[in-house]
Amino acid sequence: MSDFHKKNITELSALLKNGEASSVQLTEHFIARIKQYDDKLNSFITVTEDEAITAAKAADEKIKTGNAGPLTGIPIAHKDIFCTQGVKTSCGSKMLDNFISPYDATVVTKLKQAGIVMLGKTNMDEFAMGSSNETSYYGAVKNPWDTGTVPGGSSGGSASAVAARLAPAATGTDTGGSIRQPAALCGITGIKPTYGRISRYGMIAFASSLDQAGPMGQSANDCALLLNAMAGFDEKDSTCIDKEVPDYTADLEKPLKGLRIGLPKEYFEKGLDADVEKVIRAALDEYKKLGAELIDIELPNSGLSVPVYYVVAPAECSANLSRFDGVRYGYRCEAPKDLLDMYTRSRGEGFGSEVKRRIMVGTYALSSGYYDAYYLKAQQLRHVISDDFKKAFEKVDVIMGPTAPSTAFKIGEKSDDPVSMYLSDIYTIAVNLAGLPGMSIPAGFANGKPVGLQITGNYFEEGRLLNVAHQYQSCTDWHRAIPEDFS
């Protein structure tokens, strides 16, 4: 069998360009791997084999003309939160189990235009609510490094599929860490761009002021190529920023001499697993060898990020999910007695427990008499958290620390303790509240499980993050590691 799965996007693109492989061959190879291995992982909800082969044939024709781009003919997977025309878009929920999208999300359209081949739609926490990918209507996703553990969430299906090399790359979304945390737990590279950098049109909304799409791949170089295609203004999304998209691959080789790396003391205090900290410290030592300077900083209000997030995000989710009422599309209960019965039973039967929990919390926070005490106060604290980052970036160029406080935990370990589960995102949430770009890269292993290093940058400095990540990956090979059972 071919070793296409051991190559990253850059290497696969070179094979296609040189005529050493066709897009049909690549696509068939990855579909065969999905059929062979995904029963162990449950990382896909839908596999679009026929559509993928058709797209691959079209890509091969384009490659023959000499007009192909770097992504033409590359197979990838989409998180099942992105609307895909003619293909089920479930958002991991019973509520949308029967929903066939009549249109493509902007991210899907842009990647199609770049020539990618869609392999299918990946599993996810229901409506992107979760940190472990256990809340999906289609069952828990498993981590390929240890199938008894979680892959992280909510983009756990994408992370698991890329880590097991069932797809060279995938799309994800990040509301409070949902690209970076699963990337860390599965040992892959993932970037959440600045809020507004990528269109949210056609991306099913959880928390509109926090949600952001981004790429998940094997390397920073792969993510740069994908981000080039995904980013850009879209008039269909009022939160999308009209700002020119640079070539994110342009500065990848820039040396890091003089780079100022901020280390927040709050990220290395109580709650961080000692073995994870050792791996992170070793990665920071590598950066020192590359010419970077480590500077201690403080983000004094970062500890407030989890409570602030769990007021803001549920409030926005309760508003966004009010559209799922059994009337227009999605799940409808059987034989409703009247309109109220249809609403209550359709929502009660269609949503899972975590989604219901967040809707209830959000509705309470927005209710009369509590709006000022909770939602308004949370928005005020959000500005305070954002100001901490602004002050930090006056002294440093990027901020580094662990992506998650521990390695992947056992499936079911935190299911009955929502607060413990929410703390899995303690290092990632503040970045979303501030709207900053952040990424996670593989930095090593603790007890045989991957550890991710989080890199946070200033607004619209995705290029710098990718450069900082690429330079580390040029002198380490953690991002090349493949789980033994899937190699």
Enter the tokens of residue 47.
Answer: 């596999």
Which residues, at least 6 apart from 196, have a Cβ–Cβ distance to it below 8 Å? 212, 239, 240, 241, 435
Using a 10 angstrom Cβ sphere, with 0-12 exposed, 13-18 middle and 19 or more buried, the burial of residue 1 is exposed
- Comparing C-alpha atoms, which of 295, 277, 291, 269 is closest to residue 444? 277
**Is 160 an active-site residue?**
no
Ramachandran area for residue 44 (φ above 0: left; ψ -120 to 50: alpha; else beta):
beta
Q: Tell which residue, 386, 389, 407, 409, has the closest CA to residue 399.
A: 389
Active site annotation includes 178: yes
- Residue showing tokens 């890091």: 256
Q: What six digits make up the tokens of 193?
A: 């761009």
| From 131, 132, 136, 178, active-site residue | 178
Question: Which residues, in sequence order, are CB contacts of 363 under 8 Å at separation 6+?
Answer: 318
Residues β-bridged to residue 206: none
Write down the catalytic residue from 154, 199, 219, 302.
154
Amino acid at 418: P
* CA nearest neighbour of 154 among 137, 179, 183: 179
CA–CA separation, 115 and 122 (whole Å): 20
Indicate the Cα dihedral angle 239, 299, 153, 102, nearest 10°: 0
Q: Is 79 a catalytic residue?
A: yes
- Environment class of residue 475 by beta-carbon count within 10 Å: exposed (0-12), middle (13-18) or buried (19+)? exposed
Pairing assessment for the beta strands 117-122 and 75-79 based on DSSP bridges = parallel
Query: Which one of the listed residues 7, 13, 79, 305 is annotated catalytic?
Result: 79
Residues labelled as active-site residues: 79, 154, 178
